[in-house]
Amino acid sequence: MFTQSVGLLSYTFMTQTGHDRIVVPMVDYELDISTRVLKNSHHYSKEHFRTNLSMLLEWSPYGNEAGLIKQFDDIGDHGTKVIIYNLWFSDDGDLELDFESDPKDILISGAPKSIIGPNHLKNIIEQHVANRFHFSLRVYSSILYLRVPEHFKIILRGHVVEHYNIAKDLQFPEFIMYKPKVGGFLQVCFVVMY
């Protein structure tokens, strides 16, 4: 039995419903692997599930539960799918996120553009991961993990994000051996790099 969950993180939802803190309505489903059947999971109560589902359907692009559940189809038994919609426009009339400049990335609107020209060195510096992660979801996603688990992938706009080990860019790395003990026994040995 696997659990699949749907949550809604929306600034518009929070402000228009009068919340002054982050509220994420969620519903959970239990997936029976042998029958491939999803059932509502009532961790809290049926009423809690119904209320959260109602909020999700009202504030998401899906008009019914079947449309919402359909989103699990292409991620399989595990994974996370993020759907971005109903974006705001800037004062210039541009969407807050740029989906046009790079078909494999999502950029914050107004991000610097790559231009090869007389300032080639400046362009190389601007394109370095340390500068790009501020406005590129692909670059930001590439540095989230110091080490990526063997069967783990981040897929953005249909393309796998290549892992970038940002620790290799450290100019003066230092290593500290960290050996926590619980009950007198060594549990795990970590190497902390900063």
Q: Give the model confidence (pLDDT) of 141-181 as tens digits.
A: 999 888 888 888 899 999 999 999 888 887 777 777 767 66
In a domain, 79, yes or no: no
Q: Please, which pLDDT band fits residue 118 given cuts at 50, 70 and 90? A: low
| Dist CA 162 CA 140 (whole Å) | 11
Range of the domain at 175: 89-194
pLDDT at 170: 75
Q: How many residues does the chain have?
A: 194
Share of the chain above pLDDT 70, in %: 80
In a domain, 101, yes or no: yes
CA dist 79 → 4, 29, 118 (Å): 9, 14, 44
* Pair 180, 98 in one domain: yes
* Pair 110, 172 in one domain: yes
pLDDT over threshold 70, residue 97: yes
pLDDT over threshold 70, residue 19: yes
* Pair 104, 33 in one domain: no
Q: Which residues contact 30 (CB under 8 A, 6 or more apart)?
A: 1, 2, 3, 4, 38, 39, 40, 41
15 touches 30 (CB < 8 A): no
* Pair 108, 157 in one domain: yes
| Dist CA 194 CA 146 (whole Å) | 12
56 touches 87 (CB < 8 A): no
pLDDT at 67: 92
Residue of higher predicted confidence among 71 and 117: 71
154 touches 161 (CB < 8 A): yes
Q: How many domains does the chain have?
A: 2
| Sign of the C-alpha dihedral computed for residues 56, 60, 62 and 68 taken in this order | negative
pLDDT at 119: 61
30: how many CB neighbours lie within 10 A of its CB?
15
Structure tokens at 115: 């231009």
When the pLDDT of each residue in the chain is averaged and rounded to a whole number, the result is 82
Structure tokens at 194: 């900063």
pLDDT over threshold 90, residue 131: no
pLDDT over threshold 90, residue 74: no
| Dist CA 136 CA 126 (whole Å) | 12
| Dist CA 41 CA 55 (whole Å) | 17
pLDDT at 151: 84
pLDDT at 104: 95
pLDDT at 105: 92
Question: Structure pTM?
Answer: 0.66
For residues 108-113, average pLDDT: 74
- Provide the H-helix boundaries in the chain: 11-16, 46-59, 65-70, 120-126, 129-132, 137-142
* Pair 61, 108 in one domain: no
